[in-house]
Chains A and B, each alone.
Chain A
Amino acid sequence: MNEPAIRDIWVYLSASPLLGLTITLVAYGLAYRLYLKSNSSPLANPVVSSVAMLIALLMVTGTSYSEYFEGGQFVHFLLGPATVALAVPLYQQFSRLRELWLPVTISLVCGVVIAAGSSIGLAWLLGGSTEIQMSLAPKSATAPVAMGISETIGGIPSLTAVLVVATGIVGAVLGTKLFEWMRITDDSVKGIAMGVAAHGIGTARAFQVSSQMGAFSGLAMALSAFATALIVPWLVDLIGI
């Protein structure tokens, strides 16, 4: 093939969402296979490896994030309906939830306050700017919710999205080890902690441990999305930032 033809094709591809969407799915497919090959080791988290592959690819080809996002937005958009879809496992776990409603409510409210308070406090202690503190505050909530809150309280929504993903990865990778050290064997306790601290990425990990842990994690993620939306703007007001 001659040089101009390739350039024409590249011009077409970089202007169309097709490439961004396709590479996202291909990278995730590869990352997922790698993850299965590693016997589902949390270190081979498919989000980490697909993000790494995609960033490397975009940098090598000199493609900007906004060009990539033309296609990536189709996947990103599904976070909205996925959040709504959380109502289904929430409803199906409702009988268990009713039994545990008091411990779940207390843990959830404390967890959300601790998540936001500790990230604001630590970032402040380490000399982070207010913008960074506010971008970190909702990081334990699921991405669409966290981005919305970040915007309301004066953070940078797109930076928050990145921090949310990083938080989920830290939680998914370390969570099961932490529970082992704490000698916690109860799947409902592990699930709630995972969902509160590490939202969807933690929930995906929890489902690999057991379906009960996954269901509780999904439940905690859904409820803490709601609680974070209610509590964090108020908490920020209270601290007076």
Chain B
Amino acid sequence: MNFLNGMTLLLVYQLVGEVTVRLLAVPIPGPVLGMVMLFLTLMIRGRTPEPLQNASTALLSHLSLLFVPAGVGMMAHFDRIADEWLPITLALFFSTIITMVATAGIMQLTTRWFVRPGQGGGQQDE
């Protein structure tokens, strides 16, 4: 019952998010708005209800599994990927590396600039 209640809550927030996005014609995906609304609710309530904790832990601990059906979708796009494999693979590969390195660098620098030393500003040594 516990897990079920948590799952129901997540679906209700997703549903409200989807409906709101369509009603207001905002370009944000419904689940993202649902996430924001749930976050605000938690902030107001000041604690995480146990059923919600259980359901979200269960979903997030198997997050990789949820990407598998989308990944298998590659087979439906073999032709397209074969046609433009060079821009697709190179852009994807290098853009991911650039993003990772740049974000890490910016986070490292800005933490040092804006947060007092000792608050996780990349000062720790191994």
Known: A89-B60, A126-B87, A222-B35. 17 other contacts (CB 8 A): A27-B68, A66-B76, A84-B17, A90-B39, A91-B42, A92-B48, A100-B111, A107-B103, A107-B106, A126-B91, A136-B95, A185-B124, A189-B108, A189-B122, A225-B29, A226-B32, A229-B29
Within 8 Å by CB of A204, from B42, B52, B63, B99, lies B63
Residues of A within 8 A of B76 (CB): 65-66, 158
How many A-B residue pairs have C-beta atoms within 8 angstroms? Tell me.
330
Chain A positions 149-173 with a Cβ under 8 Å from a chain B Cβ? 149, 152, 156, 158-159, 161-168, 170-171
Chain B positions 47-96 with a Cβ under 8 Å from a chain A Cβ? 48, 52-53, 55-57, 59-60, 63-77, 80-81, 84, 86-88, 90-96
Across the interface, do A119 and B95 meet the contact criterion of CB distance under 8 Å? yes
Within 8 Å by CB of A136, from B29, B64, B88, B122, lies B88
Across the interface, do A128 and B87 meet the contact criterion of CB distance under 8 Å? yes
Distance A81 CA – B66 CA, assembled complex (angstroms): 11
Within 8 Å by CB of B100, from A45, A69, A149, A197, lies A197
Residues of A within 8 A of B67 (CB): 47, 79, 143, 164-165, 168, 200-201
Across the interface, do A76 and B69 meet the contact criterion of CB distance under 8 Å? yes
How close is A120's CB to chain B, nearest CB, in angstroms? 8
Q: Per-residue CB proximity of B10-39 to A under 8 Å, as 1/0?
A: 110110010000000001111110111011
Across the interface, do A88 and B68 meet the contact criterion of CB distance under 8 Å? no
Interface size on B, residues (CB 8 A): 80
Q: Per-residue CB proximity of A218-229 to B under 8 Å, as 1/0?
A: 100010011001
Across the interface, do A84 and B35 meet the contact criterion of CB distance under 8 Å? yes
On whether A65 and B29 interact (CB within 8 A), knowing A75-B65, A128-B91, A182-B105, the answer reads no
Interface of A, helix, strand, loop or mixed by DSSP:
helix
Across the interface, do B63 and A203 meet the contact criterion of CB distance under 8 Å? yes
Residues of B within 8 A of A235 (CB): none
Chain B positions 86-126 with a Cβ under 8 Å from a chain A Cβ? 86-88, 90-108, 110-111, 113-115, 119-126
Does any Cβ of B come within 8 Å of A18's Cβ?
Answer: no
Q: Per-residue CB proximity of A1-40 to B under 8 Å, as 1/0?
A: 0000000000000000000000011011000000000000
How close is B21's CB to chain A, nearest CB, in angstroms? 9
Does any Cβ of A come within 8 Å of B1's Cβ?
Answer: no
Q: Per-residue CB proximity of A58-99 to B under 8 Å, as 1/0?
A: 110000011011001101101111111111111110100001
Does any Cβ of B come within 8 Å of A41's Cβ?
Answer: no
Across the interface, do B111 and A127 meet the contact criterion of CB distance under 8 Å? no
Residues of B within 8 A of A59 (CB): 75
Distance A136 CA – B30 CA, assembled complex (angstroms): 21
